């Protein structure tokens, strides 16, 4: 370990500047490649598969009243952070909220009764 520190301590300044430039350029290229890949793939909120708006809404309508199925969808998509918090992908949460608003506003399923209305 000490030998490696001694070796890197003797690296000429010009060489270290060059390495830093290479690292920065590679980082930019990786970021650009990742961005282009995400744009080409598009959003895949349901099990990583490409889906259209209608499929996602129909899937939500089929699971929204079934507690076991809803729990399965959440369990399949959740991750645990280092501090123990349960995390869901933003795309999944956004699509659930969008579909639920659509249902409650008179979409393709009978909307849930809203409190105060009969």
Cβ-proximal residues to 118 (8 Å cutoff; 6+ apart), any chain: none
d(CA 32, CA 38): 10
pLDDT value, residue 73: 83
pLDDT value, residue 77: 84
pLDDT value, residue 30: 93
Express each pLDDT in 51-110 by its tens digit.
677 777 777 778 888 888 888 888 888 888 899 898 988 888 888 888 888 888 876 544
pLDDT value, residue 112: 45
pLDDT value, residue 114: 46
Report the alpha-carbon angle 105-117-103, nearest 5: 20
d(CA 47, CA 54): 16
Select the more confidently predicted residue: 11 or 25: 25
Closest-CA residue to 48 (of 76, 68, 69, 67)? 76
Half-sphere exposure of 42 (CA within 13 A, CB side): 7
pTM beyond cutoff 0.75: no
pLDDT value, residue 19: 83
pLDDT category, 2, cuts 50, 70, 90?
low
């Amino acid at each position: 370990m000490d030998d490696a520190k001694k070796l890197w301590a003797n690296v000429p300044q010009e060489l270290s500047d060059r390495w830093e430039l290479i690292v920065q350029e590679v980082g930019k290229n990786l970021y650009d490649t990742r961005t282009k890949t995400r744009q080409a793939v598009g959003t895949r909120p349901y099990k990583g598969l490409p889906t259209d708006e209608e499929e996602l809404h129909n899937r939500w309508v089929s699971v929204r009243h079934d507690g076991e199925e809803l729990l399965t969808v959440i369990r399949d998509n959740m991750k645990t952070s280092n501090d123990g918090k349960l995390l869901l992908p933003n795309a999944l949460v956004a699509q659930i909220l969008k579909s639920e608003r659509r249902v409650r506003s008179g979409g393709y399923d009978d909307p849930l009764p809203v409190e105060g209305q009969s």
